[in-house]
Structure 1
């Protein structure tokens, strides 16, 4: 039995959404891997020391998996990877965040220390695969994020109503206020339009978005964090999924929305054009372009054939992310 140590931010106990460390570790365990995960410490300094101690404690594992981000959490990956190098443990960075290419360019020496010395780098999106290969990190492969498609009840949309759904953590990089502007504009032609926003607060953006909606006198349903089961059930009452992010990789919430048959209107940033084919599996608009997103939403409301096609094709695309397919690639890497 192969033994693994998975390093990442296990912060669901603080009210944040589950991330790859929560989902992938469980899946690998079900496939027979012995796996230890860390860290759930809320304080960032304490979390780093907890991660480092876990590496020292589990130095005999076959591989260390490291969730790797571009901002402050980048330093977890840096220090853990260098400790692994010192202890001669094979480590595998799992690449997250549409902003990671900027980190490669701004911190070339540090990123080379991590990614040139890894056993292999795993990119969940073809976008990050392309960006890493472009910069000479040839030991990078693509293994997508996964879902269990059978858990998502598909509902084919054709003739729809202006019921908008937004699902993400509330953080400034995901531009939640844009969704309020979109609703405001849509209500000019569709006064019955509604918006539901699902997700926990990450940086104060939830209260800022609520305040903004109140200033515009818009009635928006803010649910806070919901379990996957609850928000997927809620989704059956909505017809269009909007994604307003300024930076992104391959968001699982978008894949889940596609699996549910929701037509997607998303900003064309980061890994999203690698996930969504414009006019085939969703509609893409420029970042922070409220007018274009409104036009895209109204296009869906007026074109039954387009909506039907996007809904059906989105589900077919989502099926490629089913764990039954993705697990083969992970087993091949870790065997």
Structure 2
């Protein structure tokens, strides 16, 4: 959403008057009711002054859904159409489609949406399986990332393997550590595993594997540092167990990195095995190590996959066409 806001500003609003607001907000979770209440009051004020045509609701699991149920209900009361934008990678485990009150309310929220935006065909099929009545209102729109501001230079003589994400089991970091351990005999690589989460445990494991000098774990890094890491990397690896459509993969593609990922969520929509990256089975350490070894040892293959990924980004995953597509969704929803 930050990228979308910047792109709309760059385009001069693209003929739209868009306001962004938080319902969770920074700081302690106890403060979120204040942000939610403020958002609802803002909706009332805008509606009363004739300045609210459509509400865009970003949706994920747990607390996000509980807040967004209130916003959707409020929008219906005000007679304002709303767009649901599903981001949560674990949503099938959260919205079980049973007869509980939560599942019924989520289905009502989806059924009341003027448009439902999902990030890939997998998610379109999932939503239809839970709420068939929304089939005609679903729009498949992958995430997008801006073109990089830093030139891609890569890792030089040693291939630089990069992981970006929360360090823990769901992102497959234990499997990544084991795969790198199996590659320790190869001299021409180094790795950076960046993100928050179980950082100290991962550092301890790297030391146990004898990889402390080759694997850097800087912890959480800001946007500027992420850009530097991508510019200096050759391979982006994300062996997750669950995802929707990770922005880190799209950012890597924007710089022409070769991608190794698992076929979860909408990842296979953009990472085509042997075409725009390499796909490995979830939890398969041997396959992960083999894919990374191939890319470390075969520079032409890295370059071929990275070039194809770069072309895909410019054609489908850049922010400029994304902002236009989102704007079209809003306009249709408001009719």
Offset, 1:35: 0.4
Which residue, 177, 183, 189 being the options, matches 1:193? 189
Is the Cα–Cα contact under 8 Å of residues 120 and 142 in structure 2 kept in the other structure?
yes
Q: Which residue of 1 aligns with 2:56?
A: 65
Offset, 1:156: 8.3
Q: Which residue of 2 aligns with 1:80?
A: 71
Which residue, 202, 206, 219 being the options, matches 1:213? 206
Secondary structure of the equivalent of 1:66? strand
Is the Cα–Cα contact under 8 Å of residues 156 and 261 in structure 1 kept in the other structure?
no
With normalisation by structure 2, the TM-score equals 0.83
CA distance in 2, matches of 1:302, 1:27: 38
Runs of 4+ residues over 6 Å off in structure 1: none
Is the Cα–Cα contact under 8 Å of residues 179 and 244 in structure 1 kept in the other structure?
yes
Which residue, 17, 32, 39 being the options, matches 1:54? 39
1:58-114 residue CA offsets vs partner (Å, 9 max, x unmatched): 221222222101234221222222222223222211110222233333453122111
CA distance in 1, matches of 2:313, 2:209: 36
Which residue, 164, 167, 182 being the options, matches 2:164? 167
Counterparts in 2 of 1:113 and 1:48: CA distance versus 1, 3 Å: farther
> Equivalences for 1:110-121 in 2 at 5 Å?
110-121=105-116
Which residue, 159, 174, 180 being the options, matches 1:183? 180
Secondary structure of the equivalent of 1:217? coil
CA distance in 2, matches of 1:152, 1:77: 37
Which residue, 320, 326, 334 being the options, matches 1:324? 320
Offset, 1:317: 1.1
Offset, 1:118: 1.1
Counterparts in 2 of 1:196 and 1:128: CA distance versus 1, 3 Å: same
Secondary structure of the equivalent of 1:261? coil
Residue 24 (str. 1) matches residue 4 (str. 2): yes
> Equivalences for 1:135-284 in 2 at 5 Å?
135=130, 136=132, 137-138=134-135, 139-149=137-147, 151=149, 153-154=151-152, 161-187=158-184, 189-199=185-195, 201=196, 204-219=197-212, 220-284=215-279
Offset, 1:143: 2.2
Counterparts in 2 of 1:36 and 1:285: CA distance versus 1, 3 Å: closer
Is the Cα–Cα contact under 8 Å of residues 148 and 255 in structure 2 kept in the other structure?
no
Is the Cα–Cα contact under 8 Å of residues 161 and 239 in structure 1 kept in the other structure?
no
Residue 292 (str. 1) matches residue 287 (str. 2): yes
With normalisation by structure 1, the TM-score equals 0.83
Offset, 1:154: 4.5
Unpaired runs of at least 5, structure 2: none
Secondary structure of the equivalent of 2:21? strand
The count of corresponding residues between Structure 1 and Structure 2 is 310
Is the Cα–Cα contact under 8 Å of residues 176 and 288 in structure 2 kept in the other structure?
no
CA distance in 2, matches of 1:270, 1:144: 11
